[in-house]
Amino acid sequence: MKKILIALAVIASMQIANAQVKQITDAQKALDKAVEASQNEKKATKAATWQKLAEAYLAAYDAPIANAYVGANKTELKVLMLGDNPVSTENVVIGGEQMEKEVYANKNLYFDGNGALRIIEVTKPVVDNALEKALEAYNKMLELDAKKVKEAVEGLESVAKKYENEAYNQYSFGDYSASSKSFEKVADVRAMAPLSKVDTNSIYNAGFTSHFAKEYERAEKFFNKSLEIGNYGDGGEVYAKLADVKLNLKDTVAAKALLEEGFGKFHESQSILIGLINLYLSTNENPEKLFTLLDAAKENEPNNASLYYVEGNIRAQLGQYDNAVKAYEQCAVVDPSYEFGYIGEGIMYYNRAIELQQKASEELDDAKYMALVADFEVALKNCIEPFEKAYELTKGEDIKKSVAEYLKNAYYRFMSDDDPKYKAGYEKYSAIVAQ
């Protein structure tokens, strides 16, 4: 009986392996047949011929992937791909993450540390440029029959999603230039009638990846397009990115104008804020101009506590620590429930403590070293009270946990002191962070 079961398992394995080979063969045959039909003078006048050709190209594109899908674990894939075994396996680093790469005859599969499939890379396609050819076929279909809107919309979206997967894969592999071109194709396909969508995300991503690739003229094009369609990115990030592009293109005037415009709309953006400070300093302009912009905003929004938080951040960046504290404390005067003034003050003191600690570690003179250590301890103790207030006020669990992490670290430094509050504080926040 055992030998029979083993034999049956082997037969089943061979059948599935053969089925996977047959899937690719069938896809090629179906494509060849569809291409032949499109070249037939009589059949080429029918919209259905071109629809079948487009679908055949998409089926051919998917064929090497077989039953694999992103998110599947190895156990699932062993069942889905029974008989299709990797030629080799190796450990690789993709995007800074350790992954296991399984090499197959026509594809590579990449698994994360949890054994989940993260990337499918086809290395031997059934046909080259399948997506471009599918797109051409769908356009021809619409030419012949404008009523096939539903089929066209579904087809174009399918092509767009496949280009999108390629774009993210290329980004993961560090090929930012290719990724940018793929994101551009996604946006172009979705813009086509009758799909007719403005894909703000892909337009931004085309700019973001070309910026990574240091293709600044190309990045400029897509970031400008993002601003035109009202996509400013997370917290106005497009302004900061486009300003950096302008700086790399040696256009300081345009960079400054963008940052000032962005700051006017997104006061709390750290990337815009830091960009402005650095630009003013590098061009020997007075950073105090930032406070003029803020004062104008305060006149328009006198009850906006976040404006004082931003002022505190600017003054902290400029080393104006006493004035930064005043600005942070003003947040609670304007809005007692606004926790970010306390958070900003706590982070300022904490970062100052780290800076002093670094200086102390590099100091060779004993007296100067001891003075720096004393200043370090004062700064670190000063961060505790505002962080405690922030922890009491904030309702967001993620923010609470971040604040607790700061408090745990601060209390830990003074656990050996006579005052028992430091040990108690460390134990309290250590337990919270561990949850």
Q: Please check whether residue 305 is in contact with residue 341, taking contact to mean a CB–CB distance below 8 angstroms.
A: yes
Query: What pLDDT band is residue 288 in, cutting at 50, 70 and 90?
Result: confident
Q: Which residue in the block uniquely carries the two structure tokens 């009758």?
A: 194
Sign of CA pseudo-dihedral 181, 182, 183, 189: positive
Tell whether 74 is covered by a domain: no
Q: Which two tokens stand for residue 402?
A: 């971040």
What's the mean per-residue pLDDT of the chain?
92
Phi, psi of 94 (to 5 degrees): -120, 120
**Is 192's pLDDT higher than 50?**
yes
- d(Cα 26, Cα 19) in Å, to the nearest integer? 10
Is 394 part of any domain? yes
- pLDDT above 50 for 5: no
CB 374 within 8 A of CB 357: no
> Is residue 386 reached through a cis peptide bond, with omega within 30 degrees of 0 on the bond before it?
no
> What are the residues whose beta carbons fall under 8 Å from the beta carbon of 82, sequence distance 6 or more?
12, 13, 16, 17
What confidence tier does 21 reach under pLDDT thresholds 50, 70, 90?
low
At 404-418, the pLDDT tens digits run 999 999 999 998 887
124, 212, 224, 231: which is closest to 170 by C-alpha?
Answer: 212
pLDDT tens column, 23-78: 899 999 999 999 999 999 999 999 999 999 999 999 999 999 988 999 999 989 98
CA end-to-end span of the chain: 52
pLDDT at 435: 86
Question: Region 3-30: what's the mean pLDDT?
Answer: 57
Predicted local confidence at residue 374, as pLDDT: 96
Give the mean model confidence (pLDDT) for residues 191-212. Answer: 98
Helices (H) and strands (E) in the chain, counts: 19, 4
Q: Which of 14-23, 266-275, 304-313 has the highest mean pLDDT?
A: 304-313
List, in sequence order, every beta strand (DSSP E) within 162-265.
Answer: none
CA nearest to 405, candidates 424, 371, 430, 423 = 430
pLDDT value, residue 286: 81
Residue 357 CB coordination number (10 Å): 17
88 forms bridges with which residues in the sheet? Answer: 103
Confidence of residue 20 (pLDDT cuts 50, 70, 90): low
Q: Residue 12 contacts by C-beta under 8 Å, 6 or more apart in sequence?
A: 82
107-111 β-sheet, strand order: 88-94, 97-103, 107-111, 117-122
The predicted-structure confidence for 324-342, as pLDDT tens digits, reads as follows 999 999 999 999 999 999 9
Give 337: exposed, middle or buried? Use CB within 10 Å, 0-12, 13-18, 19+: exposed
Predicted confidence band of residue 382 (pLDDT cuts 50, 70, 90): very high
Mean pLDDT of 169-198: 97
Taking 90 as the threshold, does the pLDDT of residue 217 lie above it?
Answer: yes
CATH of the domain at 357: 1.25.40
Domain of 367 in residue numbering reads as 310-435
In a domain, 415, yes or no: yes
Query: Average of pLDDT values for 352-356?
Result: 96
Helix (H), strand (E) at residue 108: strand 107-111
Query: Is residue 267 included in any domain, yes or no?
Result: no
Cβ atoms of 429 and 411 closer than 8 Å: yes
Following DSSP, what letter does each residue of 130-162 receive, concatenated? HHHHHHHHHHHHHHH-TT-HHHHHHHHHHHHHH
Residue 391 within any structural domain of the chain: yes
C-alpha dist (Å) from residue 287 to 280, 281, 318, 327:
6, 7, 8, 16
pLDDT digits (tens, 9 = 90+) for 71-120: 999 989 988 887 788 999 999 999 899 999 999 999 999 999 999 999 99
Task: With respect to residue 387, please indicate whether it lies within any of the assigned structural domains.
Answer: yes
Domain count within the chain: 1
Determine, yes or no, domain membership for 8: no
Q: Can you spell out the DSSP letters for 314-371? A: HHHHTT-HHHHHHHHHHHHHH-TT--HHHHHHHHHHHHHHHHHHHHHHH---HHHHHH
What whole-number distance in Å separates Cα of residue 201 and Cα of residue 55? 26
pLDDT given for residue 13 in this prediction: 40
Which residue is it, tokens 């396909």? 189
The Cα–Cα gap between 167 and 113 comes to 23
User: In this predicted structure, what is the pLDDT of residue 229?
Assistant: 97
- The pTM of the full predicted model, rounded to 2 decimals, is 0.74
CA 102 to chain centre: 26
Short-list 220, 218, 179, CA closest to 202: 179
pLDDT of residue 322: 96
- Residue 11 pLDDT > 70: no
Q: Measured between alpha carbons, how far is 30 from 67 in angstroms, rounded to an integer? A: 19
What pLDDT was estimated at residue 36? 97
- Determine the pLDDT at residue 285: 82
Residue 431 lies in a domain: yes
